[in-house]
Amino acid sequence: MPRPAVVVAAAALATLVGGCASVPISGPVVRGAGGVDSGEGPGGYVRMLPAGPQPDVGEESLVKGFLRDMGSFEENHHAARLYLMPGPQERWAPEGDVLVYEDMDSITFDTNVAANGESAEIRMRGPHIASIREDGQYVPQDPGETIDTTFELEKDNGEWRIAELPDSLILGRRDVDRAYRPLNLYFFNRDESTLVPDPVFLPVSSDNLATHLVRTLISGPTEWLDPAVRSAFPEGTRADVAYDSGAVTVELSGDVSVDGDHYGMAAQLAWTLKQLPEVQELVVRIHGEEIELPGGDAENLQGTGNQWADVDPGGMPGSPKAYFVRDGQLWWLSGNGEGEEPDEARVEGALGHGSNPLREHAVSLDEKQIAGIEAGLDSVVVAEPENGSNFDSVLSGGEYAALSWDPHNNLWVVEKQATDSDGGGEGDSDDSDDSEESDGSDDSDDSDDSDDSGSGTPSGSKIWMMRGGSEPIEVSAPELEEVAVSTIRISRDGTRAAVIAELDDGPRLYVGRVTGSGGDMALDQFIPLGKDLEAISDVSWRSGDQLAVLGQKEQGAVQAFLLSLDGATEATSAGAPTGADMGALSAAPGRPMLSSADDDQVWLTNDRVMWRFAADGANPVYPG
C-alpha cells in the first residue's frame, strides 16, 4: 500500500487508467514552498505587477482575478490579499501542495448568489494537471484528476470580496512558468560514488535565489527521492547564507563538525549553486571557521576546473563505447561523433563470434560484462567481451522483455507475466538460477503457453535484479504487477528507473525510485513523464536529470526528444535521420545521441539537428 504523500504517483500504474477524482482542499495545514518569499538575483526574474480587484466587479470575475493574481509572490501575496475580506486578509497563509491547472479556459465556475444579494458561493472545477509538493517536487497528475473547491463571497462596502477560500495556492501552468524556477538539489547515491540531481521548483521574487536554494539543499531531499539518496550534511545542520557580488558565503552550525572530510558537503553546495550563473564563488564556514575547498582560492564555480569530477552527476566517467548488432553479432563503436569517422570493431568472444544472436543486449558501466536475451530462447545470458569467453545463462524459464545495468554491476531484467481471471499465469522464474532446464520435457509454462491456454497475452511484469550479473533477486515492484513493461532503464547513479508501460491507451513513460539493499530491493512510487508525447517506444538516460525519448507529438513524425525530469518542462525535439524510420535510441553524458533505423543503419547526432550515418547495424546502446 503506497504512503499517503505519494498516493497519486502510485496510482499512475497501479490502476492503469485513472478515473475521475477530486482533490480535497481541506485538511491539516502543512508549511509549503508556495508560502516562501524568495527569489533570484538580478536578470532572472520578471516582476509581475497585478492589477488587483477592480471596482464593481462581478462574483465570477472577482474569483478569476484572484486566481490570476495568486501567481504574484511579492510582499507575501499582497495583491491576492486585496480580494479578501479584512479578516481573511490577515489570516490567509497559502500552504501545503500547490495545485496546478492548465489555463482559465479549462475551469468552470458555478455561481449561487443569496436572495439578499449580499453573499455568494462559487464552485470552481477543472482538470488538475500537476501538484507542486511542499518540498518543491513537481508531480504531473494522471488524466481524470480534478480540482474541485468552493469560494464564499460577501459584500464589503458594496464590493464583492472573498470571505472563505482554500488554504492551497491554485495556479495556472503559465503562472508556474513565471513564478517558479526549476532547479536541482544534489545528493549522493547509496555508495556515495556520484551525485544525484533532485529537481525542485522554487518560487522566485526580487530577492536572491541562492539563499533559498542553499537552505532547501541543507533541509534535505524531496520526500520522493529521500529513501534512495544520502546527504553529507548531518541531521540538525543549520545554515546562514549571504550573497554579495557573485559570492555565496555559507555559515554552517548545529551538529556539523569542523573536523573531518568536508568534500561531500562542499560538492553538494558547488553543484547546486553552479546552476546560477550569477554565483561565481563559494565560501563555507563551520562554526565560524572557514574550510578549504578543492581548488583553493582560485575556486570559480563557473570555471572549467575538474575538482568535482569524481562525483559528476552524469554517473559515467571516461568515454564509453557504444555497442550495436550487425548480422546477429555484437560490434562496438567509439568516437565522439565530431570530425573523424567513428571506429568500429567486432566484440571479442561469444558476443561477437558466437552462433547465438541476441534480440536485446545491455552493457555494464565498466564495459566488462554484456547481457543479452537470446533470440528464440527464453534465456538471459551474460558474457565477457574478450577472447575465449562463453555465454553463461543467468535467468531462464520465463519470457523476458528488457535489460539494464546499474552502477553496482547488477543486471535488471523485466519478465513478462500473463494474468488471467484466476490471478494465475506467472512463469517459473523462481527456479531461474538453474540454467540447465532447457529440454522442456515436463515444463508446461514455456512462453508459447500464454498463446494456447486462453489466459491472455502478458499484461503484468516481474522485475529481477541479478546481483553481480548472476545471482537472482526478485525486486518488489507492486505497481508493475499488472502492467506490461516493454523497456526499463536504470539511471547510471542507480537511484531511479525509467520504464515504458504498455497501457490500454498506448505506451506511457514513468520514472520510479530504486530503494533497498542486499536481498530487499524495491522499485516503486512511479511518476508519469512526457505527457505531451505519444507512441513512446524507447528511452535512455542522457544525463542524471534528462532522458532521451523516442516518440511523437500529436501524431507527427517519430523522432528523438529530450525530456527533463522536473516534470513540467515540455519535451524538446532532437530530430531524426532524414528519410529513415527510427527504431531505437541511446544516449549518454557527453556522447553523441545514437539511433538505428529500419534500413539497418546506425545514425548519430551531436547537435540534435543534423543526424549522420555512423555504421551498418541496429539497436545501438551505451553502457547502462
pLDDT tens-digit map of 137-152:
999 998 889 999 999 9
**How large is the average pLDDT for residues 419-428?**
46
Checking if the pLDDT of 12 tops 90, the result is no
Residue 45 pLDDT exceeds 70 = no
Percent of the chain residues topping a pLDDT of 90? 68
Confidence grade of residue 315 (pLDDT, cut at 50, 70, 90): confident
Q: Residue 169: which of 134, 123, 200 has the closest Cα?
A: 134
Average pLDDT over residues 479-487: 96
Residue 43, pLDDT > 90, answer: no
In sequence order, the 6+-apart residues with CB closer than 8 A to the CB of 16 are 482, 483, 503, 504
Using one digit for the tens of pLDDT, what is the confidence trace for 392-416?
Answer: 999 999 999 999 999 999 999 999 9
List, for residues 449-472, the tens digit of each pLDDT value. Answer: 333 333 456 689 999 999 999 999
Question: Using one digit for the tens of pLDDT, what is the confidence trace for 155-172?
Answer: 999 999 999 999 999 999
Model confidence band, residue 6 (pLDDT cutoffs 50, 70, 90): very low
Query: pTM value?
Result: 0.85
Give the pLDDT of residue 456. Answer: 52
For residue 228, CA distances in Å to 111, 356, 403, 513, 622 come to 47, 37, 21, 7, 24
Q: What is the mean pLDDT of the chain?
A: 85
- Exposure letters 516-554 (e unless 16+ CB within 10 A, then b): beeeebbbbbbbbbbbebbebbbbbbbbbbbbbbbbbbe
Give the phi and the psi of residue 310 in degrees, each rounded to 5: -60, -25
Q: What angle do CA 143, 147, 148 make, to 5 degrees?
A: 130
CA dist 140 and 510 (Å) reads: 11
End-to-end CA distance of the chain: 30
Half-sphere exposure of 7 (CA within 13 A, CB side): 7
> Which stretch of 57-61, 239-243, 429-433 has the lowest confidence by average pLDDT?
429-433
Task: Give the length of the chain.
Answer: 624
d(CA 366, CA 193): 14
Q: Which amino acid is at 352?
A: G
Residue 261 has pLDDT above 80, yes or no: yes
* pLDDT of 305 over the 90 cut: no
Q: In what order do the strands lie in the sheet with 612-616?
A: 582-586, 593-597, 601-605, 612-616
**Which whole number is the average pLDDT over 110-123?**
96
On the question of pLDDT at 433 being above 50, the answer is no
Whether the Cβ atoms of residue 82 and residue 107 lie closer than 8 Å to each other: no
